[in-house]
């Protein structure tokens, strides 16, 4: 799904304009971090959190790139909704999971909800 691919590419390149345009104005996010354990919602809150976590989005001198490489992509497509799930990481010591709930707005697919979680082997 091109919209999901564009989102990942914008994230990897810290392209704030394209990245932000990937979300609906009322989008919600669950981050995988304890210090952001609650639900984040709305354009203003999402902007504040994303730019705090990744200041590279607005650093005009930034040359850093991410290497987000989705694996095991699954797309469930419905007339006005799509659910995109994928994994990140090697799946051995740690596995990160992502879910994008996308909705069609004016013929464009936008992220209405992003759920990010990670699991790792419990070594006792």
How does DSSP classify residue 112? Answer: E
Higher pLDDT, 78 or 43: 78
- CB–CB of 40/46 below 8 Å? yes
CATH of the domain at 106: 3.10.450.50
State the average pLDDT over residues 73-95. Answer: 92
Tell me which residue range forms the domain holding 9: 2-120
Write down the pLDDT at residue 49: 87
> Whole-angstrom Cα distance, residue 33 to residue 118?
9
Per-residue model confidence (pLDDT) at position 37: 74
Q: Output the pLDDT for position 78.
A: 97
As for how many domains the chain has, the answer is 1
Residue 25: both structure tokens together: 């104005």
pLDDT, tens only, 21-72: 999 999 999 987 777 778 999 989 999 988 988 888 888 888 889 999 999 9
């Amino acid at each position: 799904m091109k919209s999901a691919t564009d989102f990942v590419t914008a994230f990897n390149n810290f392209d704030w304009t394209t990245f932000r345009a990937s979300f609906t104005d009322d989008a919600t996010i669950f981050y995988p971090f304890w210090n952001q354990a609650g639900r984040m919602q709305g354009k203003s809150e999402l902007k504040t959190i994303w730019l705090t976590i990744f200041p590279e989005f607005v650093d005009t001198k930034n040359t850093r790139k991410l290497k987000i490489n989705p694996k095991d992509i699954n797309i469930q497509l419905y007339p006005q909704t799509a659910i995109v799930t994928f994994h990140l990481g090697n799946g051995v010591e740690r596995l990160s999971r992502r879910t994008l709930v996308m909705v069609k707005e004016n013929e464009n697919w936008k992220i209405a909800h992003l759920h990010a979680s990670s699991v790792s082997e419990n070594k006792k």
